[in-house]
Amino acid sequence: MSLKIATSTELQMIYPAFVMHKHWEMPPGYNDRLFALAAEDAAANRIQNAGDGRNIGDQTNHLGHLRHNFLMDRRDPAIAVLAQMVAAAVREYLQLAYGYEHAGDIQMMSDTFWQRRSSRENVGINAHTHMQTDIVCTYYPRVVLDADCPETSLHRGAVRFYDPANVGKRLWPCNNPDAYVGGWYAVEPKAGSMIVFEGHVPHDSTYFKGEERMCIPVLCSLTLPNSHCKAGLAEILAHQATGDPHGV
């Protein structure tokens, strides 16, 4: 005897994470000019004084740097173009991932990371997040690998993204082309690559067998109608002392 039982099924993807790899075919000379500006910026913002309050990290490795904003500290048409590229990529990411057309402003801050084999800096970057950043856009104006560099992500400076839920690889096969469940998701950047992702996603980058690489991460925060409207204590107290002409 067979039973006929009516059923209904709903499947919902929850808490997704997205990675967008965009490649820009820039005019001749653009990446070289941006690289030169970024190299000057990276050298100028290495940590010199252990007591400097602007220090991010320390002097024990090449990742330590001063808090600054490359996009504002230097003036050049190449930097203006980079900022516009980032804005376009953020809006494209939001449209592709969420179906959202962002019309508001995008606040940006950028560091520069120049990694050179001559200074033993081609060892990769340790795993980290950018928890206070909505979206990260990292642009690579220069990536120089050796001609005999192995065709493996562990030798080519791949950016690896990890499951924010810390679940990692499932043991059963995944045949859904829209889902990725591997131990990590790797993207190999090339000159002209821009990798876009949300700041909470853990990521690192591997060793690369090559002379040098420049990456310019741009940390982006969206200006939204429902963005937090925080005020400092001094501002609040000054406001309360003078009173609000529209209030009581």
Can you spell out the DSSP letters for 19-45?
EEEEE--PPTTHHHHHHHHHHHHHHHT
Range of the domain at 195: 20-221
Q: What angle do CA 189, 193, 198 make, to 5 degrees?
A: 85
Half-sphere exposure of 218 (CA within 13 A, CB side): 27
Tell me how crowded residue 167 is: count the other CB atoms within 10 A of its CB. 9
Which of 107-111, 194-198, 243-247 bottoms out in mean pLDDT, i.e. has the lowest?
243-247
Query: 50 lies in a domain?
Result: yes
Query: 3 lies in a domain?
Result: no
pLDDT value at position 247?
A: 42
Please tell me the distance from the alpha carbon of residue 71 to that of residue 22, in angstroms, as a whole number.
20
| Over residues 214-225, mean pLDDT | 95
Please tell me the distance from the alpha carbon of residue 134 to that of residue 107, in angstroms, as a whole number.
10
CA distances in angstroms from 160 to 62, 109, 204, listed in the order given: 20, 22, 5
CA distances in angstroms from 181 to 61, 161, 168, 188, 197, listed in the order given: 33, 11, 7, 18, 17
Query: 209 lies in a domain?
Result: yes
| pLDDT-above-70 percentage for the chain | 95
Query: 244 lies in a domain?
Result: no
pLDDT value at position 244?
A: 56
Query: 4 lies in a domain?
Result: no
Query: 230 lies in a domain?
Result: no
Q: Under 8 Å CB-to-CB from 152, ≥6 apart: which residues?
A: none
CATH of the domain at 127: 2.60.120.620
Instruction: Give the residue, 235 or 138, on which the prediction is more confident.
Output: 138
pLDDT value at position 237?
A: 85
Query: 63 lies in a domain?
Result: yes
Instruction: Give the residue, 223 or 55, on which the prediction is more confident.
Output: 223
Q: 242, 133 in Cβ contact below 8 A? A: no
CA distances in angstroms from 146 to 143, 198, 211, 213, 238, listed in the order given: 10, 31, 7, 12, 60
Q: 45, 82 in Cβ contact below 8 A? A: no
Tokens of 2: 């067979």
Mean pLDDT of all residues in the chain?
89
**Number of domains into which the chain is organized:** 1
pLDDT tens sequence across 6-26: 999 998 888 889 999 999 999
Query: 155 lies in a domain?
Result: yes
Which of 24-38, 47-61, 230-244 bottoms out in mean pLDDT, i.e. has the lowest?
47-61
Tokens of 40: 């000057």
- Nearest of 166, 221, 215 to residue 195 by alpha carbon: 215
Can you spell out the DSSP letters for 46-105?
S---TT-TTEES-TTSTT-EE---HHHHS--HHHHHHHHHHHHHHHHHHHHHH-----S-
